[in-house]
């Protein structure tokens, strides 16, 4: 097992949402796409997983969560892993415009096809 996160199909993706049904559904969809999906139900749990699992190659987080919102989590995650691809999801219009510059976004409710496209973009190899 390597310490370098994998990109593309078969990547390990951390899904964070305080709504268990959304988290588990997203995990199921990602698994069907061929990825390994880990779940966290809070930002604190997600940060712990990021610190202990070097295989995590991307983060999908809800914006509206108690304690620490998705943008705060994304910022903390990037302090741990500056190159971590992050997808911010929200069903509300409260996401600040500045977040769209720093993180990919997907509006909830989203369809499997929409998630698939965003994940492919997120995990695409970056040009050097």
Work out the average pLDDT over 4-19: 79
SS3 content of the chain, % helix, strand, coil (to 5): 40, 20, 40
Instruction: Kindly give, in sequence order, each residue whose CB lies less than 8 Å from that of residue 31, ignoring residues fewer than 6 positions away.
Output: 37
Residue 7 confidence (pLDDT): 52
Answer with the residue of higher pLDDT: 37 or 6: 37
Residue 119 tokens, joined? 């994940």
Coil, strand, or helix at residue 73?
Answer: helix
Rounded average pLDDT over 92-115: 81
pLDDT at residue 64 greater than cutoff 80: yes
Q: Mean pLDDT for the chain?
A: 88
pTM of the model: 0.88
């Amino acid at each position: 097992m390597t310490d370098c996160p994998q990109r593309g199909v078969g990547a390990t993706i951390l899904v964070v949402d305080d709504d268990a049904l959304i988290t588990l559904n997203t995990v199921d969809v990602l698994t069907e796409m061929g990825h390994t999906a880990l779940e966290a139900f809070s930002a604190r749990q997600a940060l712990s997983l990021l610190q202990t699992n070097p295989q995590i190659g991307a983060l999908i987080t809800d914006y509206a969560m108690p304690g620490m919102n998705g943008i705060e989590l994304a910022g903390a995650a990037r302090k741990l892993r500056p190159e971590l691809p992050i997808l911010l999801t929200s069903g509300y219009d409260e996401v600040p415009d500045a977040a769209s510059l720093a993180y990919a976004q997907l509006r909830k409710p989203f369809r499997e096809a929409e998630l698939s496209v965003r994940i492919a973009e997120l995990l695409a190899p970056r040009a050097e």
